[in-house]
Amino acid sequence: MAALTLVRAYQQSFDTHPNITLSIAGGCLNALGDCVAQVAEGTTRDKPDRNQYDIVRTARFFAYGATLSPFLGRWNALLESRFPLHLRRPLTHRANAAGGLIRPGETASNNPVSSRQLLKRVAADQIIMAPLGLVLFIGSMGMMEGRTRSQIKQKYQDLYGDAIVANWKVWPVAQLVNFRFMPLPYRVPFSQACGVFWTLYLSMLNSREDKKQDDRVAENIEIICRREHPEAYSTHEGSGHRV
């Protein structure tokens, strides 16, 4: 009953304020994905700060999902109009009371579904939107984290190839189900609900890359300090401790 009430509230909100509705739903689902990622990382990390939760990181994922979701809604509407699934059959027909021709019992929804059009939708989504979405994700996360241009470029080199291959292994099937069975207003929330685990993957991937870049920065700082202040890094004979 509660689920039905939630669905009705979502539909009413979507009918009146589609962009705001998609933005809030997308942001919340993206934030949930990062929350799951941080909990998973905390349970596998053997460190004193394993329970420290990074709320700013979750806020970045919320901002990304909230910003992108209205554009995904427009993208789905474009696919809907460009590749219609229900093809009208020629009417064989009888006249109705208004003088038009109808097929008894026929509605738009029980017209045959074109498998070719469905596959075109999935192909367009995976060839155009999937690569673009990853470009936006990596770039926006780098900027929100305050990374330099060279660090963001390094992120692309380290993450993009593995992420796009993983995307093409998972998302074609999910989008096939989405485009075939979900009504247009629910396609973005459906894909993002499925994408909680995808966000989990991206979040953990991005987190590992952040740690790698932070370690590089720390190493560079240490190298510079050694060059400028070599006396601070001198060691006692027979000891590995710095003085």
pLDDT tens-place string over residues 117-139: 999 999 999 999 999 999 999 99
Q: Is 155 a member of any domain?
A: yes
Q: Is 179 a member of any domain?
A: yes
Q: Which of 80-94, 147-161, 171-185 has the lowest mean pLDDT?
A: 80-94
Residue 94, phi then psi, degrees to nearest 5? -125, 160
Q: Is 128 a member of any domain?
A: yes
Q: What is the pTM of this model?
A: 0.73
Gyration radius (Cα) of the chain, Å = 25
Residue 181 — pLDDT band, cuts 50, 70, 90? very high
Q: Is the pLDDT of residue 100 over 50?
A: no
When divided into structural domains, the chain yields a total of: 1
Do 73 and 188 form a contact (C-beta atoms < 8 A)?
Answer: yes
pLDDT tens-place string over residues 46-78: 555 555 889 999 999 999 999 999 999 999 999
Q: Is 157 a member of any domain?
A: yes
For range 34-39, the mean pLDDT: 87
CA dist 233 and 200 (Å) reads 41
Nearest of 21, 9, 3, 115 to residue 73 by alpha carbon? 21
Domain that holds residue 21: 2-86+108-204
Question: Which residue type occupies 238?
Answer: G
Q: Is 228 a member of any domain?
A: no
Do 93 and 101 form a contact (C-beta atoms < 8 A)?
Answer: yes
Q: Is 13 a member of any domain?
A: yes
CA dist 20 and 6 (Å) reads 16
Q: Is 173 a member of any domain?
A: yes
Residue 98 — pLDDT band, cuts 50, 70, 90? very low
- The SS3 assignment for 242 reads strand
Q: Is 146 a member of any domain?
A: yes
